[in-house]
Structure 1
Amino acid sequence: MKRIINALFIIVAAGVFAQAGAPAAYYNGFNWNLTGNALKTALTTKITDTDVVDISYSDLWTILKFTDLNPQNSAQVLLMYGYENGTDGMAFNDRARDKNNDGGGAGQWNREHVYAQSVGTPDLGQSGPGADPHMLRPCDVTQNSARGNRKFASGSGNAGTTGQNWYPGDEWKGDVARIIMYMYLRYGDQCLPVNIGAGSTIASDSNMPQIFLQWNAEDPVSPFEDQRNTYIQVTAPASLRQGNRNPFIDNPVLATLIWGGPVAENRWPNLFLSTETRTLDEATAIYPNPAKENYVYVNASIDLETIEVININGQLVQRIARPTEVNDTYQIQNLTKGFYLVKLTANGQTTTKKLLVN
């Protein structure tokens, strides 16, 4: 969410701004040495185990009036996909509206499923994934209808259709990306990103469209997103407190560590070194590991010069010079079952990683 927001959210400041240097207490004990699918799986466990209150669809009318408060006017909520200050006479494009003007009529706001309910596998319904406050956002009724269940696709400027698809707007595209990635981790195959995002997918995960990694990197987290995240986890009344967090709001670089792609904002510099200062070992990961097929991926935020695969007998079975990368991801193919050492070289550094192919 690029738009500059001047107000500080005093009620959640202690919980939010501590994250500028290190993870919040929510993550105490988490293993931050993981990358790739291992990190994805561990975060899935974390956000699932801490999802302790079942939010009803009707509860969202109350919750959204707190999570989505306009930081410049506490009588209003911000509207997803909105971009105008309400002076042009066209209500559908308003960026904010009276928080109590909710309902189903023109000029009101209602509950937008950022991950469209009907494209879930199965349909998300109106409980569980269909009532998760991390995903539901206030939206003008007409704008919500215009978006419908269109897939998100690349664009620029304000929200609107792009061909048969939908661009959420420059202000909201990062919010959308982080919501979709959260839903994928939390609900798995029921909320595949490829069902709601258009365009090519990344090499390491055919379920993840590249556009979401791009938007996550281009549009940094705003205090508004932090406000939502903390309210849902800890600030809401106990009966409305879901208890979990969206990790990609806490630190967008987690998406980079899982899927590669453009390097996103790192909000925990005390934990994750920048790509310029990370060692080769820290900047690379092999997945899946163990592998079930005859190929694996190497994710690297540093351009690799060589990849060498050595079998258990010490024999060099593959050497790839100047390997081709796609979104910071390389592929090693034609592997037979066995144990290997994979030697990676870049910028005068060398690291060796263990690999098992089942």
Structure 2
Amino acid sequence: MKKNYILIFLLSVSIGFAQIPTGYYSSATGTGYTLKTQLYNIIKNHNDQGYGALWTLYSSTAFRDNYYENNGSLLDMYSENPTGSDSYEYTSTSQQCGNYSGEGSCYNREHLVPQSYFDNYAVDPMKNDGHFVVPSDGYVNGQRNNFPFGKVGSASWTSTNGSKKGNNLNSGYSAGYSNTVFEPIDEFKGDIARSIFYFATRYENIMSNFYTTTGASTDAKVMFDGSNNKAFSDTFLNILITWHTNDPVSAKEIAINNRVFQHQANRNPFIDHPEYVCQIWPTQCATLSTQDFVSLDGISVYPNPSNNHTINIQSEVALDEIQLINLNGQLIQVIKKPVFNNNTYSLDNLPQGFYLLRLSSENQSVTKKIIVN
């Protein structure tokens, strides 16, 4: 795992490509839970558009596949196959649920923090919040149910894109819990973590109310600790921080953050400023950073900028995958299990432009911005 949890690159990407209003975060000057409260004061009182308006939100370009098949179908984190053809796709708003008999029947609105966790306290505006209520296949959403997100050891059920349900792996960064959890694929783990960090910040003033209200989902409850400030139990805070760190902010998230801001007039701070996570929860980040994981810190990419349409990647660590992504979020090239020559791999014949180069090894990844002149 990267020793540096405050990812300077992510900050530069988010500032460079997200449409953050000037001065939006000017009052976010603290650290720890003080910073979290400052962010709460910035994003609270958003304009609740109602539950039905989410269907219209999902029909916008930001929620469509402009990154993988690039065909404008609904981008569903539970059916999208980032490296191949999807088993099914939703191309029409008429495919909203409805009844479902299996995957591919219809899509609905999934609360990444289950609605059953908070609706005995208050339904609105949480039920309608576009930052953590996302479109997903209805059947897979039903399989996820109210279970917390976690690291599955042995799967009892697996979706067509590899999302799975089963007992939590009670070791490593996910130690401390062994009951049923739901695990999305690596491509979207950071997206989900940042949505849940948003939830704990936007509703900071009533997090303890959700937890103590009679009838709050016990499956979802294990993710939280009943406090307004720390918000999360130790196990699930470690899981979310790890996912946030290993899966950096993507162009998809930036586009959705901008669109939801237009929809309800508040932003997800952890997409705009990923470094806020470890500024708010520094103890947990420091603990995770001492664990013995593969480090990708020593990778070098050169020349950058490139004037000969070639980029060289030098790494002492064996890489599992190289992804080249343009600034529209489109996946230009994927190299699985690249074969290195003297610890170096070259990408040739690159068109002129700006790119994100994502390098992965085991459960770790690092993203670099490159320029080809």
Going from structure 1 to structure 2, the CA distance change for 1:23 and 1:232 (only over 3 Å counts) comes to closer
Query: 116-125 or 37-46, which moves further after superposition?
Result: 116-125
Identity of aligned residues (%): 27
CA contact (8 A) 1:47 1:245 kept: yes
Structure 2, unpaired ranges of 5+:
1-11, 154-160, 168-179, 212-216, 287-373
Question: How far 1:194 sits from its partner (Å)?
Answer: 10
Written as runs of structure 1 = structure 2, the 5 A alignment for 1:97-246 is 97-100=90-93, 101-106=95-100, 107-120=105-118, 122=120, 125=123, 127-155=124-152, 158-163=162-167, 164-188=180-204, 189=207, 196=220, 205=230, 207-208=232-233, 209-234=237-262, 241-246=263-268
Code of the residue aligned with 1:162 in structure 2: it is G
On the 8 A contact 1:174/1:221 being kept in 2, the answer is: yes
Equivalent position amino acid for 2:126 in 1: P
RMSD over aligned Cα, in angstroms?
3.5
Tell me which of 36, 42, 45 is aligned to 1:40.
36
- CA pair 88-207 structure 1, distance change in 2 beyond 3 A: closer
Q: Distance in 2 between matches of 1:19 and 1:258?
A: 20
Letter in 2 for 1:246: N
Secondary structure (helix, strand or coil) at the match of 2:72 reads: strand
* Structure 1 residue aligned with 2:271: 249
In structure 2, relative to structure 1, the CA distance for the partners of 1:99 and 1:207 (3 Å cut) is: same
Give the 3-state SS of the residue equivalent to 2:51 in structure 1.
coil
Q: Whose radius of gyration is greater, 1 or 2?
A: 1
Instruction: Name the amino acid aligned to 1:69.
Output: R
Letter in 2 for 1:166: F
- Change in 2 beyond 3 A, CA 1:75/1:199: closer
In structure 2, the CA distance between the partners of 1:27 and 1:199, relative to structure 1 (3 Å rule), is: same
CA shift at 1:199, angstroms?
7.4
User: How far apart are 1:17 and its partner, in Å?
Assistant: 6.1
Look up the match of 1:54: 48
Paired residue for 2:368? none
C-alpha contact (below 8 Å) 2:18/2:272 kept by paired residues? no
Deviations 1:334-355 (A, max 9, x none): xxxxxxxxxxxxxxxxxxxxxx
What code does the residue aligned with 2:220 have? I
Task: Measure how far apart 1:25 and its partner are.
Answer: 2.2
- CA contact 1:80–1:137 (8 Å) conserved in 2: no
TM-score by length of 1: 0.57
Residue matched to 1:81: 78
The answer on whether the counterparts of 2:131 and 2:268 sit within 8 Å (CA) in structure 1 is yes
* Residue pair 1:115, 1:180 contacting (<8 A) in 2 also: yes
Q: 1:36 to 1:122 in 2, by over 3 A?
A: farther
Structure 1 ranges of 4+ moved more than 4 A: 85-89, 190-195, 197-201
Which amino acid in 2 is paired with 1:242?
Q
Higher relative contact order (CA 8 A, sep 6+): 2
Distance 1:172-1:31 versus aligned 2 partners, 3 A rule: same
Matches within 5 A, 1:313-328: none
Paired positions, count: 235
Inter-partner Cα distance in structure 2 for 1:97 and 1:30: 40
Q: Residues 100-123 of structure 1, C-alpha deviation per residue, up to 9 Å, x if partnerless?
A: 222223321111111111022745
The Cα offsets for residues 131-179 of structure 1, whole Å up to 9 and x where unpaired, read as 1011111111110110111111124893110221111221111111111
- Consecutive unaligned residues of structure 1, counting only runs of 5 or more, are 1-15, 235-240, 264-358
Residues 1:194 and 1:45: Cα distance change in structure 2 (over 3 Å): farther
